[in-house]
Amino acid sequence: MNIQISDSWLREFLETKATPSQIAEYLSLCSQSVEKLIKDGEETVYDIEITTNRPDCLSVYGIARELSAILPRFEINARLKEIPVAKIPKVKSGFPLQVKISKTELCPRFTALVFDNVIIKPSPLSVRKRLENSGIRALNNVVDISNYLMLELGQPMHTFDYDKILKHKMFLRESKEGEEIITLDGQRRKLKEGIIVIEDGEGRIVDLCGIMGGKNSETDKNTKRVLLFVQTYNPMKIRKACQALGFRTEAASRFEKGLDPEGVIPAMERATLLFKEWCGGKVGNELTDIYPSPPKPKTVIVTKVKIDTIMGINIKLEDAKKFLDNLGFKTKIDAKTNSLTAEVPHWRNGDIEIPEDLIEEIARLYGYHNLPNTLPPISSLNYQKEATFEWEDKIKTALKYWGFTETVSYSMARKDLIHNPADHLKISNPLTEDLLYLRTSLIPSLLEVISKNPTEEGIKIFEMANAYLPRGKKELPLETMTLTLAVKGESKYLEVKGILDALLKELGITKFSIKPEKFPSLNYGAQIFIGETNIGIIGEVVSPELTRFGINQKVTVLDIQLNRLLSFATHAKGYIPLPKYPPIIEDLSFVFPPQTFIGPIIEEIKKINEIIKEVEFIDSYQNTRTFRITYQSQERNLTDSEIKSIRKKIIDFVSAKFRAQVKEAL
Amino acid sequence: MIKDQIRNLKNEAVGEILEAKSLQELEKIRVIFLGRSGKINALTKEIPKLPADERGGIGKLINETKKTIEEVLSQTQNKLTKTDRKTEWIDVTAPGIKPPEGHLHLITEAISEISSIFASLGFRRARYPEVEWDWYAFEGLNMAENHPARDEWETFFIDGLESDKYGKGILTPHTSSGQLREMEKYAPPIRMLNIAKCYRRESGMSHAPMFYQFEGLVVDKNINISHLKGTIDYFTKQYFGPDRKSRIRPFHFQFTEPSFEVDVTCLICGGKARLPNGKVCRTCKEGWMELGGSGMVHPNVLKNGGIDPEKYSGFAFGWGVERVLMMKYGINDIRLLFEGDLRFLKQF
């Protein structure tokens, strides 16, 4: 959460000669980050990002307190000034107010005070300007006091018109399902159970506590008596209420981070002064202060060994003590145990718990920029590198050099891109309907890329990403790394098949098989097997599917389950001694029945005799297929009669098994 | 008579050969004299017509002549090959025949670069589930249900997916979910580089609902803040260039203590906060660009990962892959990376 505070305001609490840009730089280095310095005439406004653990910094005073500890580290004097306040007088027999709280844990501290004779008018110009610089619209002096003090001290407060609290009774309790309130912004809000509210003597809900007041009790131009409300609330309750209501205010964002109950009285006293100065208001009753269990001071101990271990340097405990004391801790050095005992200041009660928290305080004041840059030493490493990533890189690089362009698409797909929504994981709070289901295949994503680039010719693309296969309601899905290629154009099957062949060769896989199969989504295609493992499919996408994407050319796809494929990948390459004897090469042509698959023929011929070293498919004309056969022996020169007998075996086998007729033997 | 003819032919051939100026010319001469229907062959065909006792001598003579011509031809050829600087013309400026041109996605290239930088420091690459349990992404990282810190991560939930033990099923909003997974898998010393897709419910110029993060995790004895600083500085200089500086500032995360924001000097203004023309640099904040978060692993996280925080300490960082590459290449809209516009993808 960011706050914007004016430099002049900051200096009301901090005496220093530091310039605004020094303040911005040093605050960023040692505490909260100043994102912008905004010049507004004479004024400079700091835009500061406050981390969630530091609600104590969500104020002008809180920042001044940090700076008073930080600036001296840069050799700049800085002194934190006192908060100007007015003591709350004891008023006997003032305006009555009866308060009841249903459960203590809802509201750790409850204070309320009535101001009489209030004159509603605009606030002083300088105040209006400061509010504006902080992004808050000035309304009138009464409302402005509550906003001004929220920014100045970090304590939100609320002002009621005292006379609109019927019977002057307040009952703080949890809401019941279905109750309603119209809030200050005029919105009618239906409440769920468990939201902290205040009910007046007539049973009307007058406040949505910590979030926004009720319309029915707001101050207006006729208000004479103001009931000022300063509380701390159970942060979780406020947070849940905001979530349930679907809205959050500046006050709520502070309450839900947990505020310091010790900060309540200073805020009340400061308000007393401002009511007097800006509105002429006089305290009109006895202060109500319900504070059943003030938190006990917390102490945290940290050893020097631990500080040094985390900071990586040798730090003097005296220095560490000084840093902590400047931040408001009360510390003692224990020489015997070589440690520091630190009593946590009440405004840091929420975020200082463990020794590491103290080390952070010490280290940031020492200055992270003053710590050396050292590489961590490697003592030992006990793991094996994972080859998967190297294979993936190798595949991607090969595809790039084979002319493919890599795409990265969202893992989520819209309903009409997928086939069976029920088989997909669904996002329950999607950002848009376009990103609703987790994809189980990358093919639709690639088709979508093709459809988005209608003027590109000869598209060759691929994506490597997880597919998400559900495994029931109680188990995480199977995330399978998938490689999918798509090539646009007529008759690209053999081109894509060639990529598959080359890719497997790159991975050291020489034995695989292609089993033709009919798929509903492919004109023609096949399953790819390595041994018994199906590693994927290849084929040309059917027209209706392409039409769905508005693609008017053919697309051929290759879809591989990478984890299965990579389980066969190997760098191992066997060495075969270079041949000493010349090969004999000859071509054989056969006429086959129409639509005979050629892949298995090549595989079968190779198996006939071990001197058949190579079978290449070199020519095709109508139903004639020509193979180039290479015979070679490692041990001897081959004789004509040897070749003749093997050739006969080939011809007999192919003729018999594939019903082919040999055409010529050269 | 025929002997004279043969002698003349030899002289004629040798003369022409020696006169030849190019290999092409030489080849023409070869065909004229030695070709299948060349002059030597023509003479050979005359042999049968000669008286029987002369045939042998003439045949021999023709053979010798042929040999002589061949020798001279071969010598001249050698000479010309050395001296003849090609009269053939080729346009050496014409476009070459290109190999196929493909493109890796910028993210892939960035991931390779990042991995190799960290590999040189001994970081092992890892990848953990994208669909993850609440425990690994939040609860186990010291962010109980309803903790306000959770607001920093706009999280996608998976419909109906819930574990009794680990809570709701979500799309992991950061790679930090890999910290506990790594600790469960390996005992210290740990040096992990987890690069994975993450998801957040937001979309804009600098935020896409899906993005990549790279998460470093080091757990060992005596790991300290200066080790984190050293690692960050090494990465910054390797990835962005030797002139870049880095710094850490206080920040807050529930799963690290202390926590830091990491800044790198601006690539546009060189960290000067002003451009050469004197104008304020709008790319950075006062000369610094935010790289991402980091911190010393919170003792509760170590405990949740089964590691004794009294014995071991560690640091972690998690930064956006797209963020660093956008910073490096000056790309201003993250969504371009995922839109599949080939005109964009083919630029890299």
pLDDT in tens, A473-489: 999 999 999 999 999 99
Q: What is the pLDDT of residue B52?
A: 80
Q: Which residues pair with B292 in a beta bridge?
A: B262, B319
Token pair belonging to A22? 């020094």
Q: Which of B259, B321, B268, B315 is nearest to B291 (CA)?
A: B321
**Identity of the residue in A313, A376, A380 whose CB atom sits nearest the CB atom of B231:** A376
State residue B87's pLDDT score.
Answer: 64
Asked if pLDDT for residue B36 goes beyond 80, the answer is no
Measure the CA–CA gap between A175 and A191, rounded to whole angstroms: 7
User: How many contacts, defined by CB atoms under 8 Å, are there between A and B?
Assistant: 238
Q: Report CA-CA distances (Å) from B36 to A288, B43, B46, B49.
A: 128, 12, 15, 20
In this predicted structure, what is the pLDDT of residue B3? 81
Residue B273, pLDDT > 70, answer yes
pLDDT at B79 over 70: yes
Q: Tell the residue number behind the tokens 């390779």, with chain if given.
A: B112
pLDDT, chain A, mean: 94
* Nearest by Cα to B133 from B105, B103, B102, B167: B167
Interchain proximity B104–A473, CB inside 8 Å: no
Which pLDDT score, from 0 to 100, does residue B25 have?
A: 85
CA-nearest residue of chain B to A241?
B146
Task: Identify which has the larger pLDDT, A26 or B75.
Answer: A26
B252 and A359 in contact by Cβ < 8 A? no
Q: How confident is the model at residue B206 (pLDDT cuts 50, 70, 90)?
A: confident
Nearest CB to B158 within list A310, A427, A479: A427
Chain-chain contact of A310 with B296 (C-beta, under 8 angstroms): yes
Residue A61 has pLDDT above 50, yes or no: yes
Question: Which domains are assigned to chain A?
Answer: 2-80 (3.30.56.10), 98-290 (3.50.40.10), 299-369 (3.30.56.10), 387-566 (3.30.930.10), 584-662 (3.30.70.380)
Give A539 or B20, the one with higher predicted confidence. Answer: A539
Cβ-proximal residues to A45 (8 Å cutoff; 6+ apart), any chain: A4, A5, A6, A7, A37, A38, A39, A133, A134
How high is the pLDDT of residue A664? 63
CB A304 within 8 A of CB A355: no
Q: What is the pLDDT of residue B86?
A: 59
Widest CA span in chain B: 122
Q: Are A189 and A213 in contact (CB under 8 A)?
A: no
Closest residue in B to A365 (Cα) is: B250
CA pair distance B112, B118, nearest whole angstrom: 10
- Quote the CA–CA distance of A306 and A354 in Å, as a whole number: 12
Please name every residue paired with B285 in a beta bridge, in sequence order, or none if there are none: B288
- Residue B219's closest CA among A382, A364, A366? A382
**Are the CB atoms for A605 and A590 separated by under 8 Å?**
no
Render pLDDT for B104-122 as a digit per residue (tens, 0 to 9). 999 999 999 999 999 999 9
**Six token digits for residue A264:** 């309540």
Chain A residues whose CB is inside 8 A of the B249 CB are 28-29, 33, 368
The 10s digit of each residue's pLDDT in A522-565 is: 999 999 999 999 999 999 999 999 999 999 999 999 999 999 99
pLDDT bin (cut points 50, 70, 90) of residue B85 is: low
Among B259, B254, B294, B262, which Cα is nearest to B137's? B254
Using a CB-CB cut-off of 8 Å, the residues of chain A touching B343 are 453
The position carrying tokens 């709008």 is B282
Across the range A146-170, mean pLDDT stands at: 95
Q: Please check the confidence at residue B258 and state whether its pLDDT lies above 80.
A: yes
B146: which DSSP letter?
T
* Rounded (to 5) percent helix, strand, coil in chain A: 35, 30, 40
Answer whether residue A618 shows pLDDT above 50.
yes
Q: Is the pLDDT of residue A666 over 80?
A: no
Residues in Cβ contact with B11 at an 8 Å cutoff, skipping those fewer than 6 apart = none
pLDDT digits over A302-355, tens only?
999 999 999 999 999 999 999 999 999 999 999 999 999 999 999 999 999 999
Classify each residue of A13-43 as buried b or exposed e, where b means 16 or more C-beta atoms within 10 Å of its C-beta: bbebebebeebbbbbbbbbbbbbebeeeeeb
Tens-digit pLDDT profile for residues A401-423: 999 999 999 999 999 888 889 99
Q: pLDDT at position B281, please? A: 83
> Tell me, what's the pLDDT at B84?
59
Are B191 and A24 within 8 A, CB to CB? Answer: no
Report how far residue A402's alpha carbon sits from residue A212's, in angstroms, rounded to the nearest whole number: 64
pLDDT band at B178 (very low <50, low <70, confident <90, very high): very high
B284 pLDDT tier (thresholds 50, 70, 90): confident
Please report the pLDDT score of residue A130 as a whole number: 96
* Distance in angstroms (rounded) separating the CA atoms of residues A293 and A233: 13
Confidence of residue B13 (pLDDT cuts 50, 70, 90): confident
Q: Please report the pLDDT score of residue B314 as a whole number.
A: 97
Q: What pLDDT sits at residue A270?
A: 97
% of residues, chain A, pLDDT over 90: 86
pLDDT of amino acid B268? 82
Task: Work out the pLDDT band at A397, boundaries 50, 70, 90.
Answer: very high
Q: Is residue A424 predicted with pLDDT exceeding 90? A: yes
Statement: residue A581 has pLDDT above 90? no
The whole-angstrom separation of Cα A583 and Cα A587 is: 13
pLDDT at A280 over 90: yes
